[in-house]
Amino acid sequence: MVKSGFFFKVRLIFALLLTLTIFQANPGLAKVYTIPVHADAFVESQNPDTNYGGEPDLYVQYFPEFNETSMTRRAYLKFDMSGIPPGHIITAAKLYLFVVGNGGHPPPNADLYHVGDGWTGATITWNTQPPTGNYLATQGSMFWGEYYAWNLFESGLWQPAVDLADKKLSLLLKLADEGPLVDFAGYIFSSNDSPDSRPYLEVTAVPPTSSSINLLLLD
């Protein structure tokens, strides 16, 4: 019999066992993929409706005065990422470009950006270039006759899983300072239509490994 003023409360305890599966990169199974450029072109502010796809060179330049006005050139590159198996995790990635010309004192920095994939090398122009996305990396003081690399993880803003999902990666290369400058500055790189020394992407990717953790939840 329960005495007056005393109450007994029965609490039910529910236990729920959960198994969480965590996917992590396995560095012991890393593989390096060399991916040639799929499409590229440069665009030019002074001829904003002209397409320069199919040219042997990519121009990334600024002219303070060219035919009585300034002129800016930028380069776009697209890579087919379908060769990396689904589910793999990219742990390193670098863009390699071969310099065939340079100018500026000192040589300027060229910045790399991520952009959308809604363009083709045969149609892109200054007026149709995609919006500039996240800044990825920079490279400077480059001289002709050598390959130079941009580390896509430098800024920490690249999300490779997104590009792996749609199997494409598009990049923009432009001068860190596009004017106004006192003197000419810029670079010329070999393009996909060059007879040799073409652009390429070097990617390290690893398959995921799974591990399970059991959690006991009490209520």
Structure confidence by residue, pLDDT tens digits, 92-104: 999 999 999 998 8
Which has more confidence, 164 or 208?
164
Tens-digit pLDDT profile for residues 47-86: 999 999 999 999 999 988 765 678 999 999 999 999 999 9
With a cut of 90, say whether residue 22 has pLDDT above it.
no
At residue 66, the pLDDT reads: 60
Are 56 and 178 contacting, i.e. CB atoms less than 8 angstroms apart?
A: no
pLDDT of residue 6: 37
Q: Which is more confidently placed, 70 or 137?
A: 137
81 vs 166: CA distance, rounded Å: 8
Which of the four pLDDT bands, split at 50, 70 and 90, describes residue 14?
very low
Per-residue pLDDT at 147 exceeds 50: yes
Higher pLDDT, 185 or 15: 185
Task: At 214, list the tokens.
Answer: 């059991």
Mean pLDDT of all residues in 159-167: 96
Residue 11 pLDDT class (50, 70, 90 cuts): very low
pLDDT at 208: 80
Give the per-residue pLDDT at 151: 98
Sign (positive/negative) of CA torsion 150, 189, 47, 182? positive
Q: Report the distance separating Cα 185 and Cα 73, nearest Å.
A: 11
Tell me which of 183 and 97 has the higher pLDDT.
Answer: 97
Is the separation of the CB atoms in 76 and 41 below 8 Å?
yes
Residues 211 and 165: their CA atoms lie apart, in Å, by 23
The pLDDT value recorded for residue 60 is 97
Taking the C-alpha atoms of residue 168 and residue 87, their distance in angstroms, rounded to an integer, is: 15
Indicate if the pLDDT at residue 7 is higher than 90: no
Residue 8 has pLDDT above 60, yes or no: no
Mean pLDDT of the chain: 85
* Residue 17 in this model has a pLDDT that exceeds 70: no
> Domains in the chain and their CATH numbers?
36-218 (2.60.120)
